[in-house]
Structure 1
Amino acid sequence: MLKPIIEELGKARRTGPAPSIRWALASLSLSMLMPSLDTSIANVGLPTLAETFGASFQQVQWIVLAYLLAITTLIVSVGKLGDIVGRRRLLLTGIALFTLASLFCGIAPTLWLLIAARALQGLGAAMMMALTVAMVGETVPKERTGSAMGLLGTMSAIGTTLGPSLGGILIAWYGWETIFLVNLPLGIVNFLLAARFLPADRPDRKVARGRPDAVGTLLLALTLAAYALAMTMGHGSFGALNIGLLLAAALGAALFAFAETKVKSPLLRLSMFRNSSLSTSLAMSTLVTTVIMATLVVGPFYLSHALGFDAAHVGAIMSAGPLVSALTGIPAGRIVDRFGAHRMTVTGLIGMIIGLSLISALQGSFGIAGYIGPLVITTASYALFQASNNTTIMKDISSEQRGVISGMLSLSRNLGLISGASVMGAVFTLASGTANVTVAAPEAVASGMQITFAVGALVITATLAIALTSLVFAKRTVLSQEVS
């Protein structure tokens, strides 16, 4: 499935031999696959790990949380660091760190050492996720950016889809350690490919003069950590601790904005947000991933409590969404290259509105087909939106900003997923009319699902309005430039 697109991208490259470009794209694909795989593979091992270490479910949850927090808090900073020290160099460091941390995870003798190793693995994953997207601009020509983004989207979806099933097989056959040790051969192959075939860093004197913004990095990391913890802690409740963390995040954001105006080489130049296209695309990315999280949060409860499926069938049905994303990512990228990113962004959002509305409207009709059919429409449209929106953001930015903006793009998605788990989960609980959804009546769960996906459709409708406004503004800007 991946060979034709990699060959096409390689042939389209204007400089360098095509085989080298194909191997470079293979490395970038692995660099997107590995962090995505480890986002989902650990979840299936939590019951086994709780039993192995004699820990509570709340304690072993930190195995997942430490990884996600490290990525969320550091991804912008490592993107900026890549702009300063060289993106290829830092990507190689990230691959090596991720692989070594995977080894530490697999041999960890205690739960807290495993959690520490997972945080270190998250740092490596942040480097890989931020710099992989940034390296696209140095690997393929602009007119093939959409295809490359579609390829990376496919690899991300494959990793997410493969994680639970692969993890279950490895634990059953070889033990929990192997869900982490499986990264060792992948990491070694990836490092060798990246070292041999990725284009060398081009020295940029303007960027090289900059130094890492230590104060800004610390403030941003603390702000994002406070927000992420506010959204994930509480286990279904939102109390004083969550509110306090949100207030801390707001204060941190204000301090960060102030600090960035006082340093010579800031982590983020606030002036970049005056670019309406960039700001709009990042905001849309956050909103869309917030809504798409409803399929992962609400779906299992609806399938098990309202439709009566057992855990095995729920898992199989839930894999349909990531599988569709994996299958449609590459075609979506080709469509973006052919018809234009802005137009396909709008098309993707319209498709999502249709899919979400059908999930809500067809509840109780046509059995499981009334859920899976609209889910396919929703996730395929999401793949199209993601490829086109990523292309809009990364296609025309200057070389010295690719790392930090790529990090911001990944951050916008992570914040959307974190926010979606909390916000859409709260909407579902409220709409179900009960504080504990696990014991709610099937009718209440079905009603909650309908309302939640209807709210999701309204959020995407608002996102579509933002996209159309941005498109009209962009056309007026082009016309005014032509007249002048």
Structure 2
Amino acid sequence: MLIRRLFVTRPGDEGLPGPQRRHAMLVMVLGTLMSVLDNGIVNIALPTLASELAVSESRAVWITNIYQLVCAALLLGFAALSRLVGRRRLYLGGLALFVVASLCCALSRSFEWLVASRMLQGVGAAAMLSIGPSMYRLIFPSRLLGSAIGMGALVVAFGIAFGPSLGGIILHFASWPWLFAINVPLGLLALVLGLRALPGEPAQSHGFDWTGAVLSVVMLSGFVFSLDHIGHGARGMSAWLPLLISTLCLVLFVWRQRRAAAPLVPLGMFRQARFSIAATVSLLAFVAQGIAFVGLPFMFQTVMGASPLEAALLFTPWPMALMLVGPLSGRLADRFNPTLISSLGLMIFLLGMSSLATLTADADALAIGWRAVLCGVGYGLFQAPNNREMIGSVTLAHSANASGVLASVRTFGQALGTASVGLMLALPAASLTHALWLGCVSVVAALALSVWRIPLARVRA
């Protein structure tokens, strides 16, 4: 019923007609599913990759982190670039690059080669993810925006749920290069469908802020590199220089955006309190999710002694619960105050995260399962309403920029969470439990800010 109503056209609807919506949505589903499957497959395989590539666990984290970091660093630039080249061209180009990079990952024979290939994958994923939410704004009318985003959350949840299980199955029957080769046929199918289904749009004539793009890359990547160096024992300027450079680039980036003829990020968007608060809440929540999604596979396999397949099954209740709750929360966000729903979700998510942090090495599957379900239900209630609040609070003209910001805070938050796990694994006095508690602190901050904005959203909705 929910899926059917997405493709029913009413008089006065914006976006595409019903039949065209169906084809465009299928392309978006395939592209999103491919990128999410990739993350889930790799996360569950990190302990195996660390062993087979003869690197430490804290270094192996960079197989995931470099992908997320490159995505985060390029999302703002690609979102602005889409106005020049058109969203269809950018999406299909990113999809093609992702397929090629996946093949390079499968052919990798060293840790360095694999990390370089993952960087290339990150570039392709950034091109697709930077405009994903704004594509929903173009495809669907505003009355269905929350439901469409909820369906997107369902696709993400399915990919997360199936990704770890698929990764465990592949490692059980085949070697690790097949973890990446699985993307090639799926990506080619999405590319063929995209060439036929995605609508074109005329390129706009204004320029591109190359200076701002370079500053954004250095700004977003410097902080995570600083965390990694500190976690590996760096001291003095070698540890703090990336952070200082990142801070300087942040100042210069804001200065540049105020003066650029075609700014990468129109700062006027952030004068909308609903938009800026939703972006901050999203960043904090994704930091916690990034910590959990990387930390839990390590905990299940290295602390509790589970196999990759067993670890995947232990992790599955979280995304399965998210998959069930996500579409419902998106529909509720179309009818009620989305900030109230997302705040409730963060409360439940906090209960789940804090209960996971209390797990012991002898915990059984039931003890892990109900905690994971709490996290999935909470995150499912939070994500779609918060995304709707963020995308729906700006004008259609700024939707591509808002999409880039949304994708940036999501990917950068996950990268920070992943880097935090690497930091905890590298520090002798820290542990994976400490990483989970750090995630709880991030959720507390997100919840406090989300509760504070509830009256604001009710007045301005």
Shift of 1:465: 3.3
CA distance 1:238–1:346, shift in 2 (3 Å): farther
Structure 2: any 5+ residue segments left out of the alignment? Answer: none
Partner in structure 2 of residue 279 of structure 1: 276
Would you say the 8 A contact 2:274–2:456 is kept in 1? no
Would you say the 8 A contact 1:21–1:197 is kept in 2? no
Partner in structure 1 of residue 182 of structure 2: 182
Q: Which deviates further from its counterpart, 17-26 or 50-59?
A: 50-59
Is 2:344 aligned against 1:347?
yes
Shift of 1:218: 0.5
Amino acid at match of 1:344: I
CA distance 1:48–1:361, shift in 2 (3 Å): closer
Partner in structure 1 of residue 210 of structure 2: 214
Shift of 1:166: 2.0
Larger RCO of the pair (alpha carbons < 8 Å, separation 6+): 2
Shift of 1:98: 1.2
Aligned length: 456
Distance 2:361 2:113 in 1: 47
Distance 1:72 1:80 in 2: 14
Would you say the 8 A contact 1:39–1:68 is kept in 2? no
Partner in structure 2 of residue 400 of structure 1: 397
Would you say the 8 A contact 2:65–2:418 is kept in 1? no
Distance 1:426 1:184 in 2: 33
Amino acid at match of 2:20: S
CA distance 1:320–1:26, shift in 2 (3 Å): same
Is 2:94 aligned against 1:94?
yes
Amino acid at match of 2:150: G
Alignment of structure 1 residues 456-475 onto 2, 5 Å: 459-475=442-458
Alignment of structure 1 residues 105-144 onto 2, 5 Å: 105-108=105-108, 112-144=112-144
Amino acid at match of 2:220: L
Shift of 1:148: 1.3
Partner in structure 2 of residue 416 of structure 1: 413
Distance 1:423 1:406 in 2: 26
Would you say the 8 A contact 1:233–1:242 is kept in 2? yes
Shift of 1:123: 0.8
Would you say the 8 A contact 1:363–1:371 is kept in 2? no
Is 2:182 aligned against 1:191?
no
Amino acid at match of 1:469: W
Secondary structure of the residue aligned to 1:473 is: helix
Would you say the 8 A contact 1:212–1:265 is kept in 2? yes
Partner in structure 1 of residue 250 of structure 2: 253
| CA offset digits 1:348-393 (Å, max 9, x no partner) | 2232344445556898999654443243122211111110011111
CA distance 1:116–1:293, shift in 2 (3 Å): closer
Is 2:21 aligned against 1:21?
yes
Alignment of structure 1 residues 286-305 onto 2, 5 Å: 286-296=283-293, 299=296
Distance 2:295 2:242 in 1: 25
Distance 1:133 1:319 in 2: 26
Secondary structure of the residue aligned to 1:42 is: helix
Q: Which deviates further from its counterpart, 26-35 or 355-364?
A: 355-364
Amino acid at match of 2:450: A
Shift of 1:458: 5.6
Shift of 1:278: 0.9
Amino acid at match of 2:443: I
Partner in structure 2 of residue 228 of structure 1: 224
Q: Which of 263, 275, 280 lines up with 1:266 in the alignment?
A: 263
Distance 1:158 1:167 in 2: 14
Amino acid at match of 2:142: K
Distance 1:391 1:273 in 2: 16
Partner in structure 2 of residue 388 of structure 1: 385
Q: Which deviates further from its counterpart, 365-374 or 80-89?
A: 365-374
Secondary structure of the residue aligned to 2:101 is: helix
Is 2:314 aligned against 1:317?
yes
Amino acid at match of 1:105: C
Alignment of structure 1 residues 428-467 onto 2, 5 Å: 435=429, 437=431, 453=437, 459-467=442-450
Shift of 1:36: 1.5
Name the TM-score, length of structure 2 as normaliser: 0.86
CA distance 1:95–1:169, shift in 2 (3 Å): same
CA distance 1:226–1:20, shift in 2 (3 Å): same
Would you say the 8 A contact 1:79–1:406 is kept in 2? yes
Would you say the 8 A contact 1:76–1:405 is kept in 2? no
Q: Which deviates further from its counterpart, 154-163 or 403-412?
A: 154-163
Shift of 1:457: 5.0
| CA offset digits 1:206-247 (Å, max 9, x no partner) | xx2321111110111011111122234455657443333222
Would you say the 8 A contact 1:359–1:370 is kept in 2? no
Shift of 1:277: 0.8
Secondary structure of the residue aligned to 1:10 is: coil
| CA offset digits 1:162-182 (Å, max 9, x no partner) | 333323433554543332222
Alignment of structure 1 residues 2-17 onto 2, 5 Å: 5-12=2-9, 14=13, 17=17
Distance 2:240 2:198 in 1: 45
Alignment of structure 1 residues 10-49 onto 2, 5 Å: 10-12=7-9, 14=13, 17-44=17-44
Shift of 1:136: 0.0
Larger Rg computed on CA atoms: 1
CA distance 1:6–1:238, shift in 2 (3 Å): farther
Shift of 1:142: 1.0
Q: Which deviates further from its counterpart, 84-93 or 416-425?
A: 416-425
Distance 1:242 1:366 in 2: 37
CA distance 1:337–1:117, shift in 2 (3 Å): same
